[in-house]
Structure 1
Amino acid sequence: MQHITPAQLSDWAANMAARRPVLLDVREGWECQTASVSPAGLEFVHMPMQTIPARLDELDKTRPIACLCHHGSRSMQVAAYLTQQGFEVINVAGGIHAWSTQLDPSIPTY
């Protein structure tokens, strides 16, 4: 599984544009309400980690997925699971926290 930084995500999305990449946020609802991103070139999809197995059929295997969470741990687990299920997935290392500290300090940290 590939890990990319938040700063690398826009280039990854641009390279995948023809395949309509997805940013899969696996945090809980309250976390998304606290801090969220919706970068250009990616469709934002929110599925808390525990709901992924039951909602697997909502994801399209033809579309590349970038997984995001708070610090990168949950998204790494989800990315590994999705890879085993036949999806093309990368993990956004450092999660939304890294996004705030590296790219956009207006995004709250928690």
Structure 2
Amino acid sequence: MQHLRPEDIAPWLDALRQREPQARPVLLDVREPWELATARLEIDGAALVHIPLQSLPHGHDALDPGQPVLALCHHGVRSVAALRFLADQGFDHLVNIAGGIDAWSRDVDPSIPRY
């Protein structure tokens, strides 16, 4: 599992596209529905999949273990737990967005509401 700061995601995606043009990264948002409604993140080139952490044991079948997964939560704690679970399920291309959407709003895009 990698831990990348929000400002490092775009360069990471660029390098991924050059190295693996067929890769289709997923932005896995493990926050609760009300959090997603409050502040939403979209990353160009990554498909957004919303599976709250508590639903991940039953919902992870929607993810492809062969594709990179970028995980996001509010501050980066739930996303680490989600990625640990996915690693136990055989996923191996896992990236935690360190600091979560709060850090993204603070350091990359202040138009995203903080809560």
Q: Would you say same fold, with TM above 0.5?
A: yes
State the Cα deviation string for residues 22-78 of structure 1 (Å, max 9, x = none). Answer: 100000000001001101111111110011110121110111000000000000110
TM-score (norm 2): 0.91
The runs of 4+ residues in structure 1 deviating greater than 4 Å are none
State the partner residue of 2:2: 2
What SS does structure 1 have at the residue aligned with 2:27? Answer: strand
Q: What's the C-alpha RMSD, in Å, of the aligned pairs?
A: 0.9
- Identity among equivalent pairs (%): 48
Gaps of 5+ in 2: none
1:100 is aligned to 2:109: no
Work out the number of aligned pairs and report it: 110
Q: Is the 8 A contact 1:10 1:41 kept in 2?
A: no
State the partner residue of 1:57: 61
Which of 20, 25, 31 in structure 2 is aligned with 1:21?
25
What SS does structure 2 have at the residue aligned with 1:36? Answer: coil
Which of 34, 37, 42 in structure 1 is aligned with 2:38?
34
TM-score (norm 1): 0.95
State the Cα deviation string for residues 1-29 of structure 1 (Å, max 9, x = none). Answer: 21001111112222333211010000000
Gaps of 5+ in 1: none
Question: Structure 1 residue 79: deviation in Å?
Answer: 0.8
Separation (CA, whole Å) in 1 of partners of 2:16 and 2:65: 14
Separation (CA, whole Å) in 1 of partners of 2:98 and 2:26: 16
